A and B are shown apart, each in its own frame.
Chain A
């Protein structure tokens, strides 16, 4: 054991009062590198050791403020940028609602961060050996004794003086502590590749386990009960009806909303008495022109002269400017649109009621353009 080096001289005391007194004396002498070990926290010890206030408070403050900023940014980003939802007509970024969340995150950051900072920087966590470990001194102060240990690296350390001081103070046991330099590494191991690898592995394992647990083991099918309901859909089979069809024909005599049945089927005579219900307003004229151009102009031509755009693929109709057509009543033209004539098919379902009358308005305007009345010129 020749390679073992002296670490410190330790002294044991029996009562907390004795240790406080001893520590006061030791710090009075000017020793700096010494430590006190007690089985439980002794009140007034930091005062006796003349310890400066712990720096941990500042770390907690900084971490708390960072948590506050993180909470603010998180709530802002989530509810004002990433997924803005209007809640009760309140502004998208409603600060009062976020205060509890910001507060919680502040506390979380400060608490967790302070504990981690304490473990990693103050306790040098990955370092797991200390010269006092495994000594009889440590066994004693872990049960019922109060100990003080003055280290060799203190500037004022002189072996005989320390032993005398301990004796003066009435210590029951004074012992040297040796340590093995190979075993004890004072360097902080926090940046060692081994430890960083451990952190990385721990990170991957925990996040992987979390992912598997949440997304695989505890996975639940997203809520879709609204799209899969017990209801009859058109085109689907239904056991409920005797014919097995889901889709039903309407009840006899059902009329679609806005639809008026045509009462003059096959009766041109009666239909010719119908007046045009629309006035030649600008809107109606425009609608008529639009519908005429879309549905009628293919055969009748843009100006109603029968100049089809179909290049003979379909027989050209006669001109709409003929005297026969000009003298037809609006009702008669309506009847032709409704039922078709010769090879012209019926346009009853292509055009609505109003659109048909608007087309007639447009047709009248076309006719007037070639056969103007005397009054039109005045």
Chain B
């Protein structure tokens, strides 16, 4: 058997250096601005840092979830570009570094980190066993360690298969993925609760974790879709990836746009119906002053536009449209996180300055740089996967 036949004619190509340089440049610009921002307005910077952290977790963890989901469900259509999602999941490795400045500034961000408040406030005193700095940091470190552990467990096995082509490696990854999915469910919920919900320690919503989960998967899918379609157009992936694969990606994006809206509306409807002051305060804050415009914008940007944009069948098969809506949805997810975190910092109305712009630049820089570094000297396609042939021939 010739090697070209077993590898489905896959020719290893490396991303141009330009991509890495763009990533590096964005990262540096964002980093410099963020550092300056930290010295000018530390608290505001830290709130932006939370958005950045949760955004990167969204992309990294969501991508790893997508990979695990493929293994557990035995999906075939996504095998030809699973490796792309694995590269994106590598952003999880950066998560502890992004969280580092936050861990040193918890006092400025979280109301519950002040012991005198925790003693006097009866409601918070009841939450003290969970909401304390030591447990918070331990939680975060355990979560990050778990993510990185599962990231390496899954991707290293997958990479090993490129050369050995053993079927048992797929079986091993299925087992790892099956363990990872409940771990993912718990960690993603508690991450949302820890980093975003406890910004308002009195307030709680039982659906909050699911809300963040819907955004997480949506963001990871969008990032993956953009990367997959771009790489396929440039010929980095195998030939034969076609409209049916695009359609599946588009349909998943469309499904998760709906899922996000469904969860967001469920959260709103229950709180609105019950009309309890301790619950409605959170939405009232986001309807106060100029925050109202961000709330309305979010409904339009993260639901209505992508919904109608991706509704028709041809638009899901159109690479150009898919790329456009992928970028659009990533931006929408960033606005979503901004909407979740920032009202605690500025209650009167939304703030938009150079600090708010620095962090998205930093986020894009991180993702692009990590992606280009990870993909270096590595196959863009899991050429050893036993399902690959069927994956390429996948027809709807």
Contact = CB atoms under 8 A, between A and B. Distances in A.
Contact of A43 (B265, B311, B396): B396
Given A43-B396, A96-B272, A53 B265 contact: no
B273 A44 contact: no
B200 to A, nearest CB: 22
Given A53-B313, A97-B269, 18 more contacts: A43-B396, A44-B395, A53-B314, A57-B312, A57-B313, A61-B311, A88-B273, A88-B275, A89-B275, A90-B275, A96-B268, A96-B269, A96-B272, A96-B273, A97-B273, A99-B265, A99-B269, A100-B269
A88 B272 CA distance: 11
Interface string A38-50: 0000011000000
Interface of A: 43-44, 53, 57, 61, 88-90, 96-97, 99-100
The 9 closest A-B pairs by CB, nearest first: A43-B395, A96-B272, A44-B395, A96-B269, A88-B275, A53-B313, A99-B265, A57-B313, A96-B268
18 contacts: A43-B395, A44-B395, A53-B313, A53-B314, A57-B312, A57-B313, A61-B311, A88-B273, A88-B275, A89-B275, A96-B268, A96-B269, A96-B272, A96-B273, A97-B269, A99-B265, A99-B269, A100-B269
A246 to B, nearest CB: 46
Interface in B206-255: none
Nearest to A43: B395
Contacts of A100: 269
Between B273, B275, B396, the greatest number of chain A beta carbons within 10 A of the residue's beta carbon is seen for: B273
Interface residues of B, number: 12
A81 to B, nearest CB: 22
Chain B: interface secondary structure?
helix
Nearest to B394: A43
Contacts of A53: 313-314
B164 to A, nearest CB: 32
Nearest to B311: A61
Nearest to B312: A57
A100 B395 CA distance: 35
Nearest to B266: A100
A89 B274 CA distance: 11
Contacts of A88: 273, 275
Contacts of A57: 312-313
Contacts of A44: 395
Contacts of B314: 53
B260 to A, nearest CB: 15
A91 to B, nearest CB: 12
A100 B266 CA distance: 10
Contacts of A90: 275
B342 to A, nearest CB: 24
A99 B268 CA distance: 12
Interface of B: 265, 268-269, 272-273, 275, 311-314, 395-396
Contacts of B395: 43-44
A87 to B, nearest CB: 9
A43 B244 CA distance: 11
A88 B314 CA distance: 46
Contacts of A43: 395-396
A37 to B, nearest CB: 20
Contacts of B275: 88-90
Nearest to A61: B311
A99 B272 CA distance: 13
A123 B75 CA distance: 35
A61 B311 CA distance: 10
B310 to A, nearest CB: 13
A71 B50 CA distance: 41
Contacts of A99: 265, 269
Contacts of B273: 88, 96-97
Contacts of B272: 96
A61 B396 CA distance: 22
A89 B313 CA distance: 44
Contacts of A61: 311
Contacts of B396: 43
A20 to B, nearest CB: 11
B173 to A, nearest CB: 28
B251 to A, nearest CB: 14
A268 B266 CA distance: 80
Contacts of B311: 61
Nearest to B274: A88
B318 to A, nearest CB: 13
B257 to A, nearest CB: 15
A89 B272 CA distance: 12
Contacts of B269: 96-97, 99-100
A100 B313 CA distance: 25
A58 B314 CA distance: 13
A57 B311 CA distance: 10
A88 B276 CA distance: 11
A92 to B, nearest CB: 15
A88 B265 CA distance: 20
A44 B312 CA distance: 19
Contacts of B268: 96
Contacts of A97: 269, 273
A96 to B, nearest CB: 5
B231 to A, nearest CB: 25
B220 to A, nearest CB: 27
A325 B395 CA distance: 115
A111 to B, nearest CB: 16
Nearest to B395: A43
A360 to B, nearest CB: 57
Nearest to B314: A53
A53 B313 CA distance: 9
Contacts of B313: 53, 57
A43 B247 CA distance: 15
A53 B247 CA distance: 14
Nearest to A88: B275
Nearest to A42: B395
A44 B273 CA distance: 48
A318 B275 CA distance: 72
A355 B315 CA distance: 86
Nearest to A89: B275
A90 B395 CA distance: 51
A100 B314 CA distance: 29
A44 B395 CA distance: 7
A88 B275 CA distance: 8
Contacts of B312: 57
A96 B268 CA distance: 9
Nearest to A87: B273
Nearest to A100: B269
A89 B277 CA distance: 14
A96 B265 CA distance: 9
A57 B315 CA distance: 13
B307 to A, nearest CB: 12
B244 to A, nearest CB: 9
B315 to A, nearest CB: 12
A310 to B, nearest CB: 66
